[in-house]
Homo-oligomer: A and B are copies of this chain.
Amino acid sequence: MTGTRRGRPRTPLLSRESIVAATLQVIDAEGTAAVGMRSVARALGVDAKSLYNHVDGKDGLLDAVTEHLLGGLDLPSPTGDARHDLRAIADSFRDQALKHPQAAPLVLTRQLASLRALAPVDAVLAVLRDAGAGTEEAVHMLRMLLATLIGTLLREVSAAPAFGSNDREDTLAASGLPALVDAAEHLARFDREAEYEYAVDLAIGAVLHRLG
């Protein structure tokens, strides 16, 4: 008979959150390439196959991490000054991405069919609408700003060509390309903060200028 159950319920060893946390540990310590069912399970002192009870394979694991990171965004409350508000949203995006620089490519490249991803989109659209953009125009502007931000952050976490951080000045100077030789000194330098500010301010300025 299937009557009363015996034995303690035994609290589970794993949870979605503990798995996500362990994955971030692995990423911070050894990079995205080191993430695997086995390495994450090892960090939890458990067998790799156990993860399948909480997460939908390796791809689902990475989705869970991406969703967790997007959920950690803390969006600023709007002040009414469009330039300031757009910049503040971009900053909060960047802050969150740089908390786990090695994990940033996940947030910046994985497309998630999740409501988590939509809050920042809504925030940007709201600011643009308040600044006088039509709905269609606001969507174009959102996408342009997002492209610039993503391109900039990918470069900042070394997941996109920087032209500078890698190439040594003497290599550039020896290239024989005239404009490049001229600029070698500046190409060889790369100040992440300054480059971020320049790119994002220019993009935001362009959008606001178009709004008149």
Binding site for B on A (CB under 8 A): 108-113, 115, 117-119, 121-123, 125-126, 129, 135-136, 138-140, 142-144, 146-152, 154-155, 158-164, 166-167, 171-172, 175, 177-180, 182-183, 185-187, 195, 198-199, 202-203, 205-207, 209-210
B146 engages A161 (CB within 8 Å): yes
Majority secondary structure, A binding face:
helix
CA of A143 to CA of B159 in the docked complex: distance in angstroms?
14
Q: Quick one: copies of this chain in the complex? A: 2
Tell me, rounded to whole Å, the shortest Cβ–Cβ distance linking A66 to chain B: 10
Complex interface: chain B residues within 8 A of A149 (CB):
151
B202 engages A125 (CB within 8 Å): no
A147 engages B143 (CB within 8 Å): no
Contact partner of A160 among B108, B121, B206, CB < 8 A?
B108
Question: Nearest B residue to A126 by beta-carbon distance?
Answer: B179
> What are 10 A-B contacts defined by CB distance under 8 Å?
A108-B160, A109-B154, A111-B166, A117-B161, A118-B163, A125-B182, A136-B186, A140-B195, A147-B147, A147-B160
Complex interface: chain B residues within 8 A of A167 (CB):
113, 118
A143 engages B179 (CB within 8 Å): no
B163 engages A143 (CB within 8 Å): yes
B150 engages A160 (CB within 8 Å): yes
B199 engages A210 (CB within 8 Å): no
Complex interface: chain B residues within 8 A of A195 (CB):
140, 143
A122 engages B206 (CB within 8 Å): no
- A147, A158, A207 — which one has the most chain B CB atoms within 10 A of its CB? A147
B202 engages A135 (CB within 8 Å): no
Question: Nearest B residue to A138 by beta-carbon distance?
Answer: B183
Complex interface: chain B residues within 8 A of A147 (CB):
147-148, 151-152, 155, 160, 199
CA of A123 to CA of B178 in the docked complex: distance in angstroms?
9
A207 engages B199 (CB within 8 Å): no
CA of A198 to CA of B142 in the docked complex: distance in angstroms?
11
Complex interface: chain B residues within 8 A of A178 (CB):
122, 126
